[in-house]
A and B are shown apart, each in its own frame.
Chain A
């Protein structure tokens, strides 16, 4: 199975800050990497697919990059609605494993 690891596990930042979350795969997954946002009590929401393709309706201050084994999710100029938990997921092969999550909290 492909293992996914995210860093950091938690992050404190202020409104207006820029942040980057990193996701690493245990083997090359090309660009088969997706990012989700989850808020408490809610289902995950797809933000970015194929490493860098922004889902319709997702603000452009979010961006994704990377290929192979290292990927990043960047949020420029954090807004109050961005404080949530973020998960990466590989869709290269089953089982479609997720990272452990990064909790983004308000400083």
Chain B
């Protein structure tokens, strides 16, 4: 059974930093691309960042480029999102999502975690 579990969310002041983690099980983590998708309260879905199975390739939305860093530890089946210079508009539930196809995100995301809430406020 595939399991995806995010952690690390919380309340942070503007300009602060936070590191999200996503622990997975039930599939061969190292061969699947993974992504972070966020959802501001009462709003739609926004893809934030993605990473290839090996970790060699990373991708970012324009609004987080230079502030967020995605990474993965395939030995520990864990995905990370390091967030810095946080802004109020980064407040959202952050979901970790597994790509359906091996090392490609071309067929969408078939497993999602329950999300972790990040609140940026003074």
Contact = CB atoms under 8 A, between A and B. Distances in A.
Interface string B82-122: 00000000000001000010000111111011110000000
A91 interface: yes
B1 interface: no
A50 interface: yes
Interface stretch (B13-21, B22-30, B40-48): B40-48
A71 interface: no
Contact of B47 (A32, A55, A98): A98
Nearest to B61: A95
Interface in A70-107: 87, 89, 91-92, 94-101
Contacts of A42: 114
Interface of B: 35, 37, 44-47, 50, 59-62, 95, 100, 105-110, 112-115
15 contacts: A36-B108, A38-B45, A44-B109, A44-B112, A46-B108, A50-B107, A53-B107, A55-B110, A87-B44, A87-B45, A95-B60, A96-B47, A96-B50, A98-B46, A98-B47
Interface of A: 1, 32, 34, 36, 38, 42-46, 49-50, 53, 55, 87, 89, 91-92, 94-101
